[in-house]
Structure formats: structure tokens, C-alpha cells
Amino acid sequence: MLLQDKVVVVSGVGPGLGRAIAVQSARAGADVVLASRTESRLVEVAKEVTELGRRAVVVPTDINDEAAVTNLVETAGSAFGRVDTLVNNAFAIPPITDLATVDLDDVRAGFETNVLAALRLTRLFVPALAESKGSVVMINSAVLRHSRRTFGPYKMAKASLLALAQSLATELGPEGIRVNSVAPGYIWADNLKWYFNYLAEQRGITSEEVYAETAATIDLRKLPEPDEIADAVVFFASQLARAITGSCLDVNAGEYHH
């Protein structure tokens, strides 16, 4: 029960990693505040949390909307009277194309959600986090570790998010707030399963063979599942990480070393 009676706010709650972060936090003893644009999805995850004996508050939120984010902060405070950890998990896929030809407006749109919205949300939660001597966890990506073609706009956004986390760690440290990042690689959830099925159909093989080919290039010969990445978030939120700030933890089963 690493998070016994703590309160964790999770943005970008979807069926994959966002859900896993919320559920694993509840398993560790936390109550959770669930935020995303799709209310029906939030309700489903909230039901899982309450079945674990913890409390959940559903707050439909567009994190690019200042009023909606302010409402999220106020609702979290009024519901639980405290916030111990903010997990910035909300994400918008940047254009997957070369930097030499990408539309700059599309790049700006990606930065708005992936970087500036995380900054906005974090700033609004600073008073509550300072009171609890809490923490922030940014969900980053293994795209930090490579420079493959067409991933330039994606890497730009995530590299900026890493810089944001490190700078906030320095600025907020004197208030007792820790800021860390988790960088997953592959996440074996619905989106990736769909993609592997698509690749399998294109090549006339099974999705199991696509998985095996991919896993063969990774040290642990497996693709991380959402719960395994969520456990790293729980670690950063817990007292086990009380002297860790400004760090980025790769959770990729050994796909990349850093």
C-alpha cells in the first residue's frame, strides 16, 4: 500500500495506460481523480477503482481549456481536501512526418496539448502539491532515445516535455514538490495490438509472429504491459522515491539503454 490514503490526479484517462495508472494507484491505496474528454470512459475506470475499495471522482476535462482545467483543480480539492500526485498522461499524436516538410501549425497543435497543457495543469496544482509535499509525474516516451525519420515532431514535443519536467523539478523543489518522468517504449495495449494485427494481415503472417519478431529485439524478450509502466508511476508517487526528482525512468523492457 505505497500510496495509502493519498490522492492521485490522472489526466488523459483512456483504456490503456491512463486506466492502468488509475487502477494501480488505487491498488496501492490511493483515491483518484480521473480527467479526460470522454466521460463514459472515466465512468468505467471509476467503477474499477471503487471495486478496489477506493474513491474515484470523474471530471470530464479538455486540458487545453483553461476554465475546464481550473474546474478540475477545484473539484479535486473540494472532493478530497488534498492532492498528493499529479500524473500528466494526456497526449495528442503529433504529425508523423519529416521535419523538413511538416506543417508548422500541426507542430504547434501538438505542443499545445503535449507540453503547454502539462505546464498549465501543473502550475494550477502547485499550491495543493506544495501543501502535501507531493509530486508530479510526466508520461514521456522512448522517442527520446532515437531519431528515426518521421518521428521528428514527436521527439521535439517529448524532448520539450522532458526539459519542462527537469526545469520544474528545480523550480518546485524548494517547495517540497518532486517532478519526474516515465518514458515507456512499446505498450502492449489495444492500439498496439490493432497495429500488429494490421501488420500481420499486410504480410500474411500471424500477429503472434509480429510480436515475436519485435520482442526478439528487446532484452527481456517481451513488450511492457500498461500495469508494468503504471507501477513505475506509483513508485515515483510513493515515499520510496522521496529523494528522487528531475529523473526520467525508461520502462521499455530493455529496448533502449540510457
pLDDT, tens digit (0-9, with 9 covering 90-100), for 108-133: 999 999 999 999 999 999 999 999 99
Helix-helix angle 104-111:152-172, to 10 degrees = 30
Cα angle 118, 45, 80 (rounded to 5 degrees) comes to 65
| Residue 217, pLDDT score | 95
CA-closest candidate to residue 251, choices 168, 238, 234: 234
pLDDT confidence band for 164 (50 / 70 / 90):
very high
CA 85 distance to own-chain centroid = 12
Q: Are 98 and 56 in contact (CB under 8 A)?
A: no
Is the pTM higher than 0.85?
yes
Is 154 catalytic? The answer is yes
Cell numbers representing residue 225 in the block:
504491459
Buried-state track 157-191, b at ≥16 Cβ within 10 A, e below 16 = bbebbbebbbebbeebeeeebbbbbbbbbbbbbee
Mean pLDDT, rounded, for 30-58: 97
Q: By percentage, how much of the chain surpasses pLDDT 90?
A: 97
Q: Are 30 and 8 in contact (CB under 8 A)?
A: yes
Mean pLDDT, rounded, for 232-250: 98
pLDDT confidence band for 53 (50 / 70 / 90):
very high
CA distance 209 to 145: 26
Distances from the Cα of 229 to the Cα of 1, 13, 139, 239, 244, angstroms: 17, 14, 10, 18, 18
Mean pLDDT, rounded, for 32-40: 96
pLDDT confidence band for 138 (50 / 70 / 90):
very high
| Residue 77, pLDDT score | 97
| Residue 28, pLDDT score | 98
| Residue 227, pLDDT score | 97
Cell numbers representing residue 43 in the block:
465512468
Amino acid at 115: V
Burial grade of 240 (CB within 10 A; 0-12, 13-18, 19 or more):
exposed
What is the chain's mean pLDDT, rounded? 97
Mean pLDDT, rounded, for 217-242: 98
| Residue 107, pLDDT score | 95
CA distance 42 to 74: 18
Distances from the Cα of 176 to the Cα of 5, 128, 161, 232, angstroms: 19, 11, 21, 20
Cα angle 59, 247, 85 (rounded to 5 degrees) comes to 25
Cell numbers representing residue 200 in the block:
500481420
